[in-house]
Amino acid sequence: MAILDHAGDVVNAVGPRGTTALLVACEYRREAIARALLDRGAKIDALKTRLNSESATTLAKIGTEKGIMLFGIKRDQKEADFRKLRLGPGDAILISSDLVKGSLTSVDLSANHLTTYGMDMTGIKELAAALGVNSALTVANLLGNQLDVESAKLLAEVAKQKGISLCGIRRDQSTADFAIQGLGPGDAILISSDLVRGALTQVFAFCPPPQRDAFSVTLNLAFALNGFAAGPLR
């Protein structure tokens, strides 16, 4: 590690792959090197570099230990919009780390790839854990991330305990239109969670044919249990 004591600004040099020494250390899960780089001024620039789940977990662990914000969220920031940024599971892990330390009241993570098209729920589980700890958050829009049913139920349970909207639905909102979004069964569970707490009387939604039956059954059951009128489930 002694060589790093004389590295100066070189610790933030960008290599051939467009990554810094810090991100490479996280990629290979070299925690001691990552900590040493941070101690010597290495900058966090994770928002611009997609880390896989394992690398992000390493960085998040160190970020938590050192109290470092990892995803560009300021400690006094109240709202964050990350929708449609093609974020993946690793990004969800880093955002989860920031949610625990920050004071956000609203974050929009909709229409991303937080599960890599339903194949990796690691980031979603970390988000659920962070939502359970965060005391300020009231809205965390997670629609359109290809959640599986188990992960959606996990989020819904946390949202129920904490009073958090998982779809960006305001408590005084009476109509919600999700018709232009390709939603799945996991999204239906998130919407159902919001129905219990809000004042919605009508919902319009769209689900692609392969998943339409499961989506419709879940959402219509929520309507029936809560006495709401269903718009067309196209």
Q: Which residues pair with 202 in a beta bridge?
A: 175, 229
pLDDT of res. 5: 46
pLDDT of res. 201: 67
**pLDDT string in tens for the chain (234-residue length):** 444 444 456 677 777 777 788 888 888 888 998 888 888 878 876 656 678 899 999 999 999 998 989 888 989 999 999 999 999 999 999 999 999 998 999 999 999 999 999 999 999 999 999 999 999 999 999 999 999 999 999 999 999 999 999 998 877 787 877 765 668 888 888 988 887 776 666 666 655 566 555 555 555 555 544 555 455 444
pLDDT of res. 206: 57
pTM of the model as a whole: 0.82
53 touches 120 (CB < 8 A): yes
pLDDT of res. 21: 84
- What does the alpha-carbon distance between residue 188 and residue 152 come to, in Å, rounded to a whole number? 9
Q: Which residues pair with 79 in a beta bridge?
A: 106
174 touches 198 (CB < 8 A): no
- What does the alpha-carbon distance between residue 229 and residue 201 come to, in Å, rounded to a whole number? 6
Every domain of the chain and the residues it spans: 70-168, 171-234
Taking the alpha carbons at both ends of the chain, their separation in whole angstroms is: 60
Assigned CATH for 70-168: 3.80.10.10
- What does the alpha-carbon distance between residue 133 and residue 114 come to, in Å, rounded to a whole number? 20
